[in-house]
């Protein structure tokens, strides 16, 4: 046991760990600054994050030595269990108007959807590595899609659009990694685009033209092509009808504000405005650690989790944001590189999936904080305060370390 642990540490990609600690320090520095405001609060975010680091590091080490074989063997059972656990919070109490948390009697709650991201990746990897086919058949694209879609739609109903998107994000990259035809991937995305564009006649028209061109250029069988084209148009025509007549107004509002928080200017819209103000007023070098007026005067909401990047931007400046993003980029690229060099397809796929999940978190969190996209609440890996996500991030790193090395038994 101990021998295998030392071996794994020796062979682990050390660069990865250093990068992660660099990111962690940036996050903790800002959390400390935020925590300083609430000096009287013993259980402040900074301290809790530090405490969470201990189990996180232990879990990372554990997952870095878990036999790959066992993971591979039981992943489907794990998938079923975790999908069920995502449903459990519905029977619990509402926290902050959502059902994301399970209260397990600990001084903190667990968010099963955080772990389920990894499980989806593992399940997809297992499914895709089991098949030697080059995924010529569209149905073999469709099943992976459903693997992610089922837990995602449950999470979406919680409602947590951000997490649902992250859950869906590995599907296409992983399919692409194992050689799926771009046309098939296009077919996966097409219905979503048909629905989204259906609300504007002009955009819908442009979309149908593009769709027709792509289908024509990909030269599918005649009847297939025609049926794909028309079923998409049909979807686009029917969806607005469904939207307007079958959904109740409060359903519609709920979905709309989940997609676009600016519709709720006193809630999330306010957050985005304050976040941009905090970021923008920071400038190149920032206002100094603990000297951010927007942060310290609490104009910035949810500063320790969703908007931690704005705290960094305000107090430590663009230079720190730049360093952080470069570290993140190196992290993702490194994991992809490890995936390419992995010994087997399953490992490679898992690493690609994890890289995608990190990338999705980085992109959604940063573009939300900078007001580029209007999606709600996703934490930034290793930076944002939040126990569940910190644990799952380190577990994923543990898996990366584990799966990127040669088989040793």
Q: How many residues interact with another protein (rule CB under 8 A)?
A: 58
For residue 262, the minimal CB distance to another protein (Å) is: 17
Contact call for residue 340 and another protein (CB under 8 A) = yes
What gap in Å lies between CA 5 and CA 9, rounded to an integer?
Answer: 6
What gap in Å lies between CA 347 and CA 340, rounded to an integer?
Answer: 9
Query: Angle at which helices 45-65 and 2-11 pack, to 10 degrees?
Result: 100
Q: Between residues 205 and 343, which has the closer beta carbon with respect to another protein?
A: 343
For residue 383, the minimal CB distance to another protein (Å) is: 14
Site string for another protein, 39-78 (x = CB under 8 A): -----------------------------xx--x------
Contact call for residue 129 and another protein (CB under 8 A) = yes
Q: Between residues 240 and 265, which has the closer beta carbon with respect to another protein?
A: 265
- Burial (CB count within 10 angstroms: exposed 0-12, middle 13-18, buried 19+), residue 97: exposed
The phi and psi torsions of 386 (rounded to 5 degrees) equal: 155, 115
Residues of this chain, 176-215, that bind another protein according to CB under 8 A: 176-179
For residue 177, the minimal CB distance to another protein (Å) is: 6
**Piece of the chain touching another protein by CB under 8 A; list 57-65, 212-220, 234-242, 297-305:** 297-305
- Asked whether 128 and 175 are in contact (CB, 8 A), the reply is yes
Residues of this chain, 88-117, that bind another protein according to CB under 8 A: none
The span from the first CA to the last CA of the chain, in angstroms, equals 13
Q: Between residues 232 and 294, which has the closer beta carbon with respect to another protein?
A: 294
For residue 211, the surrounding DSSP H or E stretch is helix 201-218
SS3 340: helix
Site string for another protein, 343-382 (x = CB under 8 A): xxxxxx---x--x---x--xx--xx--xxx----------
What gap in Å lies between CA 60 and CA 399, rounded to an integer?
Answer: 8
Query: Angle at which helices 112-130 and 68-87 pack, to 10 degrees?
Result: 130
Question: Does residue 203 have a cis bond before it (omega within 30 degrees)?
Answer: no
For residue 391, the minimal CB distance to another protein (Å) is: 25
Q: Where are the alpha helices (DSSP H) in 88-160?
A: 112-130, 139-156
Residue where the block lists tokens 């206002």: 287
- Asked whether 147 and 120 are in contact (CB, 8 A), the reply is yes
Contact call for residue 298 and another protein (CB under 8 A) = yes
Residues of this chain, 265-284, that bind another protein according to CB under 8 A: 274, 276-284
For residue 344, the minimal CB distance to another protein (Å) is: 6
For residue 105, the minimal CB distance to another protein (Å) is: 30
For residue 26, the surrounding DSSP H or E stretch is helix 14-37
Site string for another protein, 134-173 (x = CB under 8 A): ---------------------------------------x
Q: Between residues 194 and 271, which has the closer beta carbon with respect to another protein?
A: 271
Contact call for residue 321 and another protein (CB under 8 A) = yes
Contact call for residue 328 and another protein (CB under 8 A) = yes
For residue 190, the minimal CB distance to another protein (Å) is: 20
Q: Which residues face 81 on adjacent strands?
A: none
For residue 236, the minimal CB distance to another protein (Å) is: 27
- Asked whether 45 and 404 are in contact (CB, 8 A), the reply is no
For residue 175, the minimal CB distance to another protein (Å) is: 11
What gap in Å lies between CA 205 and CA 191, rounded to an integer?
Answer: 15
For residue 267, the surrounding DSSP H or E stretch is none
Residue where the block lists tokens 């020796």: 10
Residue where the block lists tokens 């573009």: 367
Residues that bind another protein (CB under 8 A): 68-69, 72, 129-130, 132, 173, 176-179, 274, 276-284, 293-294, 297-299, 313, 317-318, 321-322, 325-326, 328-329, 332-333, 336-337, 339-340, 342-348, 352, 355, 359, 362-363, 366-367, 370-372
């Amino acid at each position: 046991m101990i021998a295998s642990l030392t071996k794994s540490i020796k062979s682990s990609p050390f660069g990865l760990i250093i990068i992660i600690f660099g990111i962690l320090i940036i996050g903790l520095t800002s959390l400390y600054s935020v925590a300083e405001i609430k000096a009287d609060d013993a259980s402040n975010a900074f301290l809790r994050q530090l405490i969470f680091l201990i189990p996180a590091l232990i879990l990372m080490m554990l997952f870095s030595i878990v036999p790959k074989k066992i993971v591979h063997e039981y992943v489907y059972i794990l998938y079923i269990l975790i999908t069920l656990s995502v449903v459990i919070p519905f029977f619990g109490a509402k926290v902050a108007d959502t059902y994301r948390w399970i209260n397990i009697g600990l001084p903190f709650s667990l968010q099963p959807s955080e772990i389920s991201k990894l499980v989806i990746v593992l399940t997809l990897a297992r499914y895709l590595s089991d098949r030697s086919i080059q995924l010529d058949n569209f149905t073999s694209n469709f099943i992976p899609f459903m693997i992610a879609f089922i837990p995602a739609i449950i999470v979406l109903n919680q409602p947590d659009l951000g997490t649902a998107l992250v859950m869906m994000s590995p599907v296409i990259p992983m399919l692409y990694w194992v050689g799926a035809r771009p046309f098939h991937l296009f077919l996966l995305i097409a219905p979503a685009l048909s629905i989204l564009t259906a609300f504007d006649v002009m955009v819908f028209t442009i979309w149908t033209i593009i769709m027709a061109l792509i289908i024509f250029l990909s030269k599918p069988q005649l009847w297939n092509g025609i049926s794909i084209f028309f079923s998409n148009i049909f979807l686009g025509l029917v969806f607005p009808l469904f939207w307007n007549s079958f959904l109740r107004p409060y359903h519609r509002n709920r979905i709309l504000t989940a997609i676009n928080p600016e519709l709720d200017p006193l809630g999330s819209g306010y957050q985005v405005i304050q976040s941009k103000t905090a970021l923008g007023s920071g400038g190149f070098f920032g206002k100094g650690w603990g000297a951010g007026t927007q942060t310290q005067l609490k104009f910035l909401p949810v500063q320790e989790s969703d908007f931690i990047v704005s705290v960094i931007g305000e107090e430590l400046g663009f230079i720190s944001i730049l360093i952080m993003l470069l570290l993140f980029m190196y992290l993702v690229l490194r994991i992809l590189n490890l995936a390419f060099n992995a010994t087997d397809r399953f490992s490679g796929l898992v690493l690609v999936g994890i890289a995608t999940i990190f990338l999705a978190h980085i992109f959604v969190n940063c573009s939300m904080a900078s007001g580029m996209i209007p999606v709600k609440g996703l934490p930034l890996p290793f930076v944002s305060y939040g126990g569940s996500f910190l644990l799952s991030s380190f577990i994923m790193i543990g898996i990366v370390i584990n799966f990127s090395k040669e088989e040793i038994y």
